[in-house]
Amino acid sequence: MICLTNVTRQFGRLTAVDNLSLAIKAGSIFGLVGPDGAGKTTTIRMITGIMAPSSGQITLLGSDNPEAVKDQIGYVPQKFSLYGDLTVMENIRVIGALYGAGKQRVEQLGTEILAFTNLLPFKDRLADNLSGGMKQKLALAAGLMHRPQIFFLDEPTTGVDPVSRREFWQMLYRLNQEGTTIFVSTPYMDEAELCTSVAFMNQGRIVACDTPPNLKAGYPFRLLELTVESKAVKAVLARCPVLAVNSFGDRYHLVTEHSPAVVPRIEAALHTAGIREYSLQVIAPTLEDIFVYFAGEGEGPCTP
């Protein structure tokens, strides 16, 4: 359904997307995950035809011409781009008219979609007066006015409160269950967990791509979680067989080899430093741990 082969996008001397290859199946929820500046927005803009690649090939719905299939794709950009001085329903009417739907059809479909997104009670409210979460729901509603086969969303929940984020993802799941393929970019690892397949992007390259369970199963190290009040953990464990120490508040994820000698060495170092109150246990890796690991590895093609 979506295929990118050796796609590169350059802006002068800057390479925003570097030799990227992806193959995404119909009916999936595909997550493109990475930090700001990784190249996620540029990738989505190239796939949807907003921007041309510097090199490589992109095929969408069997066509290498995005203009030929634009009526089958929906797109919610990172920044709210609807009309703030129009009401919710007026925005929907404008979008429906742009897609060529008749007035009666716009009213019917608009009412259905606003009900789906829980915005119907607010149909007469100005878009500028909506909360951040409600604006994103309106953008989602607008993008659904032509019933697209593929829905692209560029970091749709950035800056949105946790409750609205959960409601937004519930709507994405419902759309997916109805047959819509979802392509979403996000900086949030908890949202990546909700995707059927995930590609980690860093510095313009795909560094890992698979289903969340397979990514976790392929993690080659043992992970220990250390809970301690000390802020000098890295210095305390400097002589221990620990490959990396990653901080998560008062918890630390210690990346180690699979060796029975590791835990006694860590505990001995903590005792030597006068640290007696702590918790140390083996844990399963999270997608954030996976991303930290793969960010230092070479890229590979993605065929989830």
Domain-embedded: residue 259: yes
Per-residue pLDDT tens digits for 206-228: 999 999 999 999 999 999 999 99
Q: Rounding to the nearest 10 degrees, give the CA dihedral for residues 177, 178, 179, 181.
A: -70
Residue 301, pLDDT > 70, answer no
Which CATH number covers residue 50? 3.40.50.300
What is the model's pLDDT at position 247?
87
**High-pLDDT (> 70) share of the chain, %:** 97
Helix intervals (H) in 178-211: 189-192
Q: Quote the number of domains for the chain.
A: 2
Find the mean pLDDT for residues 99-106: 80
What distances in angstroms separate CA 260 from CA 96, 174, 218, 221, one per listed residue?
A: 64, 46, 21, 13
208 and 225, same domain (yes or no): no
Domain-embedded: residue 292: no
263 and 228, same domain (yes or no): yes
111 and 236, same domain (yes or no): no
The 3-state DSSP class for residue 177 equals: helix
Per-residue pLDDT tens digits for 9-20: 999 999 999 999
Identify how many contiguous H helices and E strands the chain contains and give both numbers: 11, 13
Strand partners, 225: 253, 281
Domain-embedded: residue 103: yes
Strand partners, 197: 30
208 and 61, same domain (yes or no): yes
198 and 280, same domain (yes or no): no
Q: Which residue has the tokens 């203009």?
A: 67
83 and 141, same domain (yes or no): yes
What is the model's pLDDT at position 300?
40
Find the mean pLDDT for residues 1-29: 95
Find the mean pLDDT for residues 100-107: 82
**Between helices 103-116 and 132-143, what is the axis angle to 10°?**
140
**Nearest C-alpha neighbor of 257 from the set 237, 275, 243:** 243
Range of the domain at 164: 2-216
Find the mean pLDDT for residues 266-284: 95
Per-residue pLDDT tens digits for 39-95: 999 999 999 999 999 999 999 999 998 889 988 999 988 888 889 999 999 999 998
What is the model's pLDDT at position 296?
59
**Pairing mode, strands 181-186 and 150-154:** parallel
Sheet order of strands, 197-202 included: 73-76, 150-154, 181-186, 29-33, 197-202, 205-210
What is the model's pLDDT at position 103?
85
